[in-house]
Amino acid sequence: MMFQSSGVVKDFEDMELGSAEEEAEEEDRLAEEAQRRFDNQQHDKDQSPAVEQPEGTRSYVNMSFEVEQESSS
């Protein structure tokens, strides 16, 4: 199907370009927001003191066994 009016075709092309521009702006905005969040997380990570975990203490269990002889009947 062919459009009769060149104005309709022009309007459609403008609409597509506008949509692509809006999409690109939205992608840029989201990318900038993601970068800011990442930078903030890295900054917070650098400022929070590292928590040292104590080394595991060794514990021993003292066990002893007594052997009983079976009586033979």
pLDDT digits (tens, 9 = 90+) for 17-62: 678 889 999 999 999 999 999 999 888 877 766 667 777 778 888 8
pLDDT at 1 over 50: no
How far is 40 from 54, CA to CA, in rounded Å? 29
Interatomic CA distance for residues 68 and 40, integer angstroms = 69
Segments making up each domain of the chain, as ranges: 1-44
**Residue ranges in the chain assigned as alpha helix (H):** 6-47
Cβ(8)–Cβ(14) under 8 Å? no
Residue 63 has pLDDT above 50, yes or no: yes
DSSP state of 48: S
